[in-house]
Amino acid sequence: MQGFRQGTIVHRQVWTPGSVTLRLEAATEPLIPGQFHNLALQVGDKWVRRAYSAASAPGQPLEFFVNRVDDGELTPDLTELSVGTEVFIDPRPRGFFTLASVPEVPDLWLWATGTGLAPYISMLRTPEPFARFERVVLVHGVRQGAQLAYAEELEELGQSRPQRFVRIPVVSRENVVGALQGRVTGLFAGGTIERQAGVAVAPDRSHVMLCGNPAMITEMVELLDRRGLRRNRSRRPGQVTFERYW
């Protein structure tokens, strides 16, 4: 495929059926945490490509957290690839959903649903969030507890930085020990998430990054707007930065 390079899957982590992390060995340009790469496969008689945020730290083998979408053009094939399989990748990382666009504030909120967690894993695998912010709060919403990917790594991060990092897992369709039950938007609107974090979202001290389901992002933007938090723009800095996943 023109402009793409060949990569090889060197590791496959299965979280749940249809939810995997793929690690690639490929020659690519330097990554800024939060950016994405375009991946491509030949499906039938045509090439299909899609954008996926990297979960890897800069300088490490590229890692992508992918969920199967049954009626999708690429993920049914991509999530079934085994170690040693070839996949094509655009060597240039793209996107502006990075910490470079976030103003200096005490509290950074990383808010995700599903595989929207990936760019935050990339960020949290670097020193930058803890060099720039007093406290980092990660909210990750999923339907079932088994979908709480990277849980062990994030728990270890919390234990190593108990005063600096708070992880709040949220599960909507079942009760899971250690996780809040419900939808992330409803739990925020009712104040539960802030009580769990031990800190309030406020325009004078918080920046909220949103990544994942577009419906969640739309609802969160409305909820945050009522609190006085506005969208962050290059010419008009604000307190909310988001990236929709489809």
Total Cβ atoms within 10 A of residue 10? 14
* Torsion angle (degrees, nearest 10) of CA 30, 35, 38, 39: 80
Instruction: Kindly report, residue by residue over 83-112, the tens digit of the pLDDT.
Output: 999 999 999 999 999 999 899 999 999 999
User: What pairing do the DSSP bridges indicate for beta strands 206-212 and 107-113?
Assistant: parallel
Q: Which part of the chain has CATH 2.40.30.10?
A: 5-89
| Residue 147, helix vs strand vs coil | helix
CATH annotation of 5-89: 2.40.30.10
- Supply the pTM of this predicted model: 0.96
End-to-end CA gap in the chain = 23
Which residue in 120, 122, 117, 169 sits closest to 144, CA to CA? 169
Tokens of 28: 């690519």
Q: How far apart are CA 14 and CA 80, in angstroms?
A: 10
DSSP 24-91: EE---PPPPTT-EEEEEEEETTEEEEEEEEB-SPTTSPEEEEEE--TT-SSHHHHTTPPTT-EEEE-S
State the CATH architecture for 99-244. 3-Layer(aba) Sandwich (3.40)
Q: Which part of the chain has CATH 3.40.50.80?
A: 99-244
Which residue in 169, 240, 211 sits closest to 36, CA to CA? 211
Average pLDDT per 10 consecutive residues for the chain, totaling 246 residues: 92 95 97 97 92 97 95 92 96 96 96 97 98 98 96 97 96 96 98 97 98 96 97 92 80
DSSP 182-234: S-HHHHHHTTHHHHHHTS---TTTEEEEEEE-HHHHHHHHHHHHHTT--B--S
